[in-house]
Amino acid sequence: MRAHDERRDGFRDFVLTRIQQAEVIGPIPTSANRELDEQWMRIVPMELVPHPDLEQPLAVVADYGMTRGVLQLRLRASLVGYVTQFWGIDTTSDHSLDPMRHQLWLRNTATLYGVESLEFAPGTKILG
C-alpha cells in the first residue's frame, strides 16, 4: 500500500499485514494529495527484451508475447523496483546478471534515473 507518512513527511510504501493499528485522523491534509506523490504520478516506459546471453531467446519472446522481440511496459515509478524484482529483470546496463535467473533484460536502463524503488531491482544502483 502506498500512502503519505506524516512522520517522514513524504509518500512511502507500507506492507498491509504489518499494520497493527490505524486511526482516523480527520480530513486528509493537502500534503497527502496523491498528485503530490511524484513517484506515483511518474510513468516509466520500459523496454524488456530476452536477456542477450540466453541460448533460446525465442522461447522468452513467445512466453511474454513480445512484439518484434520487445515487451513494452509503462509502470508507475513507485512500482518499478517491485516488478523488476518479481519478474527477475536484469536492470544492469551491460546485462551482466545470470541469464538463467534473469531471462528478461531492461534495454533502456536510462529510464530508471530518479526511480526511488530501485533498492528492490536486480542489479541496479540508485540513479539520481
Q: From CA 62, how far away is CA 74, in angstroms rounded?
A: 20
In-domain check, residue 128: no
The separation between CA 30 and the C-alpha centre of its own chain, rounded to angstroms, equals: 26
C-alpha cell at 11: 509518500
In-domain check, residue 127: no
Q: By C-alpha distance, which of 121, 113, 112, 65 is closest to 89?
A: 121
Query: Range of 54's domain?
Result: 40-120
For the chain, how many structural domains are there in total? 2
pLDDT of residue 128: 47
Task: Tell me the whole-structure pTM to 2 decimals.
Answer: 0.82
Q: From CA 125, how far away is CA 69, in angstroms rounded?
A: 26
pLDDT at residue 111 greater than cutoff 50: yes
pLDDT at residue 120 greater than cutoff 50: yes
> Please, which pLDDT band fits residue 125 given cuts at 50, 70 and 90?
low
Instruction: Judge if 49 and 89 occupy the same domain.
Output: yes
Instruction: Judge if 46 and 104 occupy the same domain.
Output: yes
pLDDT, tens digit, 9 for 90 and up, residues 50-66 = 999 999 999 999 999 99
pLDDT, tens digit, 9 for 90 and up, residues 21-55 = 887 777 877 777 788 899 999 999 999 999 999 99
